[in-house]
Amino acid sequence: MNLSEIRKIVDSKWDTDLVPRLVDYVKLPAKSPAFDASWAAHGHLAAAIQAGLAWAQAQPIAGMTVEIVALEGRTPCLFFDIPATHGLGEDRTVLFYGHLDKQPEMSGWRDDLGPWKPVIEDGKLYGRGAADDGYALYAALTVVQAMDAQKVARPRCVGLIETCEESGSPDLPQYLAKLAPRLGDVQLVVGLDSGCGNYDQMWVTTSLRGLVGGVLTVEVLQEGVHSGSASGIVPSSFRIARKLLNRLDDVDTGRLLPAGLHAEIPPERIAQARTAGDILGDQIWKQFPWVGCNHGGDAHAHAMPTTTDPVEAILNRTWRPALSVTGAEHLPGIAAAGNVLRPKTSLKLSLRLPPTVDGDRAAAIVKQVLEADPPYGARVHFSGGHGATGWNAPPTAPWLLRAAEEASQAAWGKPVAWIGEGGTIPFMSMLGEKFPSAQFLITGVLGPHSNAHGPNEFLHLDAAKRLTAAVASIVADVR
Query: Over its length of 479 residues, how does the chain's per-residue pLDDT go in tens digits?
Result: 888 899 999 999 999 999 999 999 999 999 999 999 999 999 999 999 999 999 999 999 999 999 999 999 999 999 999 999 988 888 889 999 999 999 999 999 999 999 999 999 999 999 999 999 999 999 999 999 999 999 999 999 999 999 999 998 899 999 999 999 999 999 999 999 999 999 999 999 999 999 999 999 999 999 999 999 999 999 999 999 999 999 999 999 999 999 999 999 999 999 999 999 999 999 999 999 898 865 554 555 678 899 999 999 999 999 999 999 999 999 999 999 999 999 999 999 999 999 999 999 999 999 999 999 999 999 999 998 889 899 999 999 999 999 999 999 999 999 999 999 998 888 788 888 888 899 999 999 999 999 999 999 999 999 999 999 999 999 999 97
Q: pLDDT at position 295, please?
A: 54
Give DSSP secondary structure letters for 293-352: --TTS-TTSS---S---HHHHHHHHHTS-EEEEEEEES---GGG--SEE-SEEEEEEEEE
Give DSSP secondary structure letters for 267-278: HHHHHHHHHHHH
Q: Which amino acid is at 395?
A: P
Sign of the C-alpha dihedral computed for residues 380, 386, 392 and 394 taken in this order:
positive
Distance CA 427, CA 437 (A): 16
Distance CA 445, CA 471 (A): 13
SS3 call for 457: coil
> What's the pTM?
0.90
User: Given strand 417-421, what is the order of strands in its sheet?
Assistant: 391-392, 203-208, 417-421
Residue 443 Cα to chain centre, angstroms: 11
Distance CA 428, CA 437 (A): 13
Residue 367 Cα to chain centre, angstroms: 24
Buried b (16+ CB within 10 A) or exposed e, 75-84: bbbbbbbbbb
In the chain, the domains with their CATH numbers are 3-208+390-475 (3.40.630.10), 210-263+319-387 (3.30.70.360)
Distance CA 170, CA 133 (A): 17
Distance CA 81, CA 387 (A): 31
Q: pLDDT at position 356, please?
A: 97
Phi-psi region of 293 (alpha: psi -120 to 50; beta: other; left: phi over 0): left
Distance CA 416, CA 427 (A): 24
